[in-house]
């Protein structure tokens, strides 16, 4: 007994002499300033302490993953907290770049020293095939919303999800423009899911068919038919790449996370003359992140506590607790393509049309190809651009799309990886960053006959003439206080389904200003019409913003003016942030289109 006691101080002294520990501080303003220091060194038996003095929760997450795709370390440090962990125990000596999952512009490197064997980073092995969701071409499809176990991770159990039609993503609905399409959604989700509401993002249709957050729900056990004429101003609408997903008030983030998402393609048969790649060479990709428990089930997003009212008359939302705004960020560890982790696709050495959709709740990506081949962007999701734009990387926030051509000519035998890389369009302190991930692999095979072309000029849809005067400004910011509860607001108010925030007349054209006064980047979506971007920060919109759009990136302080004519339909429609936690926590407003009195 006495021998054992005597030996303890000796051992402690010996190990503390050898161990190198380190501390990383996140100062106030960390979302912009990053980790301090950005580079630190520790030994395998040392301690890492993370002190978070910022108003935001942060993580220290390794870029390197294990064979199952899990980060080698992933430490959550809430606002005001200090965490000390033996993070390097079990890691091989080496350099480990890390980032914050909520604010990936925050990056650093941890150097681990020591002689013990340990876990080495595993490059993704890309060993499951990419799944192309089943395509439905019927005019009146019936899609059953149902719980189903689906294959997401390559090994282990399937993942129970809430799906459209039994898969995630749900079936891709593909229709010729101008041909009326009536989609019946049957709600056979578990009863606790409650009512659902389906929004066809980007499309132009009646208010009652818009997937209203509170009205026209599809109740448990019931069905509802959504009517999509696929027309604009009574003419066929532009060829499009849309996103259908749940839009129920308060639960949009949760319902999308669980899998209620699918793609919708509108074809314009007259574009056949363009000879863009078709058939198996036209690949829609829904990219989204999720986190998994060890049984491969989804980690449940954590909701903040809702404070019912400020007593202002309107039912002003506010939230408290560790996940209250601005710490409401539903972010996953694994980045998935069409619902699979690290899939591969066998391609021929020819041109492909790739339709990229960011289906994530919160995370944005800056897409790039591993061999430096650029993307040639031909469309936005709402029709084609006037001219193709050659881009090395493409930043897409939640619900944004890009229609691109990738040319695999000359790459026979190579593996080209679709990655997300840090965004380079702004400095890390000027906007929320993008994830670093290897998403999927294209295995380039033999050359094949390729009758596709890359047109120099594209038939881009007509854009409205923008009025000189801005008739509405929507200001996006964090509101409330830590004591009384915080919220995401538009013009200082949270969403209230009983309130109309702006009225417009059918047939009028209006210009609206979108302005971000908060410290995080937002991606703002406007329903009902197809909008043109008039200006960005007072200047000309970026080359890929010169078609029609429905979601805009707004970095802190940015100001975008958009314009549209209100056509065909009256009633309420939404404007909201498409970071779904922000939407659920207040950042949504209503505009109502009415006929001239
Ligand atoms: Cu937002």
Residue 583 CA, ligand 1 centroid: distance in Å = 7
Residue 428 CA, ligand 1 centroid: distance in Å = 18
Element (H, E) at 152: none
What's 447's DSSP letter? -
Residue 490 CA, ligand 1 centroid: distance in Å = 10
The pLDDT score that the predictor gives to residue 3 is 35
Count the Cβ atoms, other than its own, within 10 Å of residue 9.
9
Question: Tokens 């549209």 belong to which residue?
Answer: 564
Sheet (strand 305-307) strand order: 305-307, 318-320, 485-490, 470-481, 509-516, 559-565, 531-536, 548-549
- With CA atoms as reference, report the closest residue to 90 among 119, 61, 112, 111: 119
The pLDDT score that the predictor gives to residue 341 is 96
Q: Say if residue 37 is preceded by a cis peptide, omega within 30 of 0.
A: yes
Residue 476 CA, ligand 1 centroid: distance in Å = 8
Residue 362 CA, ligand 1 centroid: distance in Å = 8
Residue 560 CA, ligand 1 centroid: distance in Å = 15
The pLDDT score that the predictor gives to residue 309 is 58
Residues in the chain: 597
Element (H, E) at 580: helix 580-584
Q: Residue 265 and residue 243: Cα distance in Å, rounded?
A: 9
- DSSP calls for 180-246: -EEEEEEEES-GGG--B-EEEET----GGGS--SSSS-B-TT-EEEEEE--EETTEEPPPEEEEEEE
CATH topology agreement for domains 2-113 and 470-594: yes
The pLDDT score that the predictor gives to residue 13 is 42
Residue range 128-272, CATH number = 2.60.40.420
Q: Residue 418 and residue 441: Cα distance in Å, rounded?
A: 6
- Structural contact between residues 56 and 77, judged by C-beta atoms closer than 8 angstroms: no
Q: Residue 17 and residue 381: Cα distance in Å, rounded?
A: 60
Count the Cβ atoms, other than its own, within 10 Å of residue 308.
10
Token readout for 502 is 């702006």
The pLDDT score that the predictor gives to residue 11 is 41
The pLDDT score that the predictor gives to residue 574 is 97
Residue 230 CA, ligand 1 centroid: distance in Å = 29
Residue 449 CA, ligand 1 centroid: distance in Å = 45
Residue 180 CA, ligand 1 centroid: distance in Å = 33
Sign of CA dihedral 35, 36, 38, 42: negative
Q: Residue 284 and residue 358: Cα distance in Å, rounded?
A: 11
The pLDDT score that the predictor gives to residue 273 is 92
Residue 398 CA, ligand 1 centroid: distance in Å = 10
Q: Residue 155 and residue 171: Cα distance in Å, rounded?
A: 24
Residue 524 CA, ligand 1 centroid: distance in Å = 7
Residue 552 CA, ligand 1 centroid: distance in Å = 11
Token readout for 122 is 């595993």
The superfamily (CATH) of domain 2-113 is Cupredoxins -  blue copper proteins (2.60.40.420)
Count the Cβ atoms, other than its own, within 10 Å of residue 82.
12
The pLDDT score that the predictor gives to residue 18 is 72
Strands 415-420 and 437-444: antiparallel
Residue 516 CA, ligand 1 centroid: distance in Å = 9
Residue 358, phi then psi, degrees to nearest 5 = -85, 105
3-state SS assignment for residue 16: helix
Residue 400 CA, ligand 1 centroid: distance in Å = 13
3-state SS assignment for residue 12: helix
Residue 397 CA, ligand 1 centroid: distance in Å = 10
Q: Which listed CATH number (3.40.50.300, 2.60.40.420, 3.30.565.10, 3.40.50.720) goes with 470-594?
A: 2.60.40.420
Token readout for 31 is 């979302």
Residue 142 CA, ligand 1 centroid: distance in Å = 33
Sign of CA dihedral 352, 337, 73, 257: positive
Could you state, in order of their start, the residue ranges of all structural domains in the chain? Answer: 2-113, 128-272, 287-444, 470-594
Mean pLDDT by 10 residues, the chain (597 residues): 37 58 95 93 96 95 90 95 94 95 94 89 89 98 98 96 98 98 98 95 96 93 97 94 95 96 96 95 98 95 78 71 93 97 98 98 97 97 96 98 98 97 90 94 97 93 93 97 93 94 97 96 96 97 96 97 97 97 96 88
Residue 361 CA, ligand 1 centroid: distance in Å = 10
Residue 95 CA, ligand 1 centroid: distance in Å = 33
β-bridge mates for residue 231, sequence order: 236
**CA dist 53 → 56, 151, 442 (Å):** 9, 40, 43
- Angle formed at CA 121 by CA 118 and CA 127, multiple of 5 degrees: 125
Residue 129 CA, ligand 1 centroid: distance in Å = 33
Top-tier CATH class for 287-444: mainly beta
Residue 68 CA, ligand 1 centroid: distance in Å = 31
Residue 522 CA, ligand 1 centroid: distance in Å = 4
Strands 375-379 and 384-391: antiparallel
- Structural contact between residues 72 and 85, judged by C-beta atoms closer than 8 angstroms: no
């Amino acid at each position: 007994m006495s021998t054992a006691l005597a030996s303890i101080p000796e051992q402690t002294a010996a190990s503390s002499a050898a161990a190198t520990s380190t501390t990383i501080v996140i100062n106030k303003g960390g979302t912009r300033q990053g980790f301090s220091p950005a580079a630190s060194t520790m030994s395998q038996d040392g301690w890492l302490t993370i002190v978070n003095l910022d108003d935001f929760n942060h993580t220290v997450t390794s870029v390197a993953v294990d064979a199952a795709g899990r980060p080698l370390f992933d430490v959550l440090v809430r606002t005001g907290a200090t965490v000390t962990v033996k993070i390097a125990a079990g890691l091989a000596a080496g350099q480990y770049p890390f980032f914050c999952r909520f604010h990936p512009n925050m990056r650093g490197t941890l150097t681990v020293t020591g002689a013990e064997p340990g876990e080495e980073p595993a490059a993704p092995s890309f060993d499951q095939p990419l799944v192309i969701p089943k395509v439905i071409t019927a005019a009146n499809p019936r899609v059953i919303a149902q719980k189903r176990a689906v294959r997401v991770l390559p090994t282990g159990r399937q993942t129970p999800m809430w799906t459209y039609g039994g898969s995630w993503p749900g079936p891709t609905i593909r229709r010729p423009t101008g041909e009326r399409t009536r989609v019946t959604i049957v709600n056979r989700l578990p009863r606790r899911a409650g009512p659902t509401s389906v929004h066809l993002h980007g499309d132009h249709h009646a208010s009652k068919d818009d997937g209203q957050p509170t009205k026209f729900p599809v109740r448990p056990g019931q069905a509802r038919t959504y009517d999509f004429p696929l027309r604009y101003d009574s003419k066929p609408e532009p060829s499009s790449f849309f996103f259908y997903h749940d839009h129920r008030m308060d639960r949009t983030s949760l319902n999308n996370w669980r899998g209620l998402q699918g793609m919708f393609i509108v074809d314009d048969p007259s574009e056949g003359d363009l000879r863009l790649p078709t058939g198996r060479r036209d690949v829609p990709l829904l990219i989204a992140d999720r986190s998994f428990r060890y049984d491969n089930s989804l980690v449940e997003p954590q909701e903040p506590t809702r404070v019912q009212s400020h007593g202002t008359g309107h039912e002003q939302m506010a939230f408290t607790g560790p996940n209250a705004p601005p710490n409401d960020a539903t972010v996953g560890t694994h980045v998935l393509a069409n619902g699979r982790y690290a899939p591969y696709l066998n391609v021929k050495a020819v041109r492909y049309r790739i339709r990229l959709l960011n289906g994530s709740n919160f995370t944005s990506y800056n897409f790039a190809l591993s061999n430096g081949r650029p993307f040639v962007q031909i469309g936005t999701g709402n029709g084609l651009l006037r001219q193709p734009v050659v881009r090395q990387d493409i930043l897409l926030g939640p619900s944004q799309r890009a229609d691109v051509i990738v040319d695999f000519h000359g790459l026979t035998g190579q593996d080209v990886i679709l990655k997300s890389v840090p965004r380079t369009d702004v400095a890390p302190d000027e906007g929320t960053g993008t994830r670093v991930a290897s998403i999927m692999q294209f295995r380039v095979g033999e050359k094949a006959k390729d009758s596709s072309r890359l047109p120099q000029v594209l038939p881009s849809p007509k854009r409205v003439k923008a009025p000189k005067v801005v008739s509405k400004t929507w200001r996006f910011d964090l509101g409330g206080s830590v004591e009384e509860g915080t919220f995401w607001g538009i013009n200082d108010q949270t969403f209230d389904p009983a309130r109309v925030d702006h009225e417009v007349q059918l047939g009028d054209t209006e210009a609206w200003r979108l302005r971000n006064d908060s410290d995080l980047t937002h991606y703002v979506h406007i329903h009902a019409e197809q909008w043109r971007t008039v200006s960005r920060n007072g200047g000309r919109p970026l080359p890929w913003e010169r078609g029609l759009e429905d979601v805009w990136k707004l970095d802190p302080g940015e100001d975008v003016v958009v314009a549209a004519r209100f056509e065909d339909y009256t009633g309420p429609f939404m404007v909201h942030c498409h970071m779904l936690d922000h939407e659920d926590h207040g950042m949504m407003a209503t505009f109502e289109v009415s006929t001239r009195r």
